[in-house]
Amino acid sequence: MTLNTHSWQEDKQLEKLDIVAQAIIEQDCDVIALQEVNQHQDSPVLDADISSNHPVLTDNYGYLLQQKLIEYGYHYQLTWDFVHQSYEVYQEGLSFLTRLPIVEHEVIDLTDNYDVSYWKHRRAVRIKVAFPQGDVDFYNCHCGWWNDSEYPFEDQFNRISATFSTGLSFLLGDFNNPSHIRNEGYDYVLQRGLVDCYEIAEKKDSGITVIKNIDGWEENSQALRIDFVFSNQPVSVKQHQVIFNHDFYPVVSDHFGVLVEVDIT
């Protein structure tokens, strides 16, 4: 599953966090990639064993979600990696939650001369997870826009793809490049050999993950598919379903999430 959580910018945030936890349990998720996982810069440092490139604070959304899952009797390993300062007082990052062993964890800078105070500076995170069938790489991506003059999507994706191994990889996240626009970011990803799990799914819905103007898309007035799960190899995708869209679990963010069932045997 992938979800841009828009955390601590939501009304009734803790109620919505609980909805996400229940969905993870009920949908039997192995790996969850979360973007815009925030913590307030003035919160106390958490003394916990979490894989991270930066101190994790007590109100970290990913940590609170992990603790909610534990409260319900489900144990997921957590990573949280700082990306940049956000909404003036928040530290924004990327999180993975997985119930499988993590054997590698890598932070990938997507821009040069990294400045954490600049919101356009971005990172991606890769984890290698041990499935019974073999190791699989998962990338957590929150990318910029195709036509950004400072930090174009093309360069960011090239930095991600430079780290690909010959093994199976999945790229999850908010790519900020709509699927319906030709000859831009979405097509660029496919031209580089990746497979959109939505396109090959045996069962799927509309795939739409944004239906209004949101942060980063202030002028938007149409339905967009900008949150994806890509694979670097053909796989058997049983189902691709939008989640947290009111029809399938309540809305919890300004993005809907994506739930994908893949057979990797």
- pLDDT at residue number 54: 96
- pLDDT at residue number 214: 61
Q: Which of 93, 129, 127, 125 is nearest to 107 (CA)?
A: 125
d(CA 29, CA 3): 13
- pLDDT at residue number 216: 67
CA 16 centroid distance within chain: 17
Owner of token pair 């990803």: 189
**Cβ contact 168:142 at 8 Å:** no
- pLDDT at residue number 265: 82
Q: Is the pLDDT of residue 218 over 70?
A: no
d(CA 159, CA 102): 22
- pLDDT tens readout for residues 54-78: 999 999 999 999 999 999 999 999 9
Average model confidence (pLDDT) across the chain: 95
Sequence-separated (6 or more) residues with CB below 8 Å from residue 241: 203, 204, 205, 248, 258, 259, 260
- pLDDT tens readout for residues 16-33: 999 999 999 999 999 999
Ranges of beta strands (E only) in 59-133 are: 77-86, 90-98, 102-109, 123-131
For the chain, give the percent of residues with pLDDT over 90: 92
Q: Which of 257, 245, 253 is nearest to 6 (CA)?
A: 253
> What integer is the mean pLDDT of 141-168?
96
**Cβ contact 7:259 at 8 Å:** no
> What integer is the mean pLDDT of 235-245?
98
Q: Which domains does the chain have, with CATH numbers?
A: 2-263 (3.60.10.10)
CA 66 centroid distance within chain: 16
Amino acid at site 241: Q
Q: Which of 142, 79, 138, 86 is nearest to 111 (CA)?
A: 142
- pLDDT at residue number 258: 98
Q: 221 falls in which pLDDT band (50, 70, 90)? A: low
Beta bridge partners of 40: 90
Q: In what order do the strands lie in the sheet with 236-243?
A: 51-52, 77-86, 90-98, 31-40, 2-4, 257-263, 236-243, 203-204
Instruction: Say what the pTM is.
Output: 0.96
Q: Is the pLDDT of residue 252 over 80?
A: yes
Q: Is the pLDDT of residue 213 over 90?
A: no
> What integer is the mean pLDDT of 224-234?
97
Quote the tokens at residue 198.
């939505």
d(CA 73, CA 125): 27
> What integer is the mean pLDDT of 170-196?
98
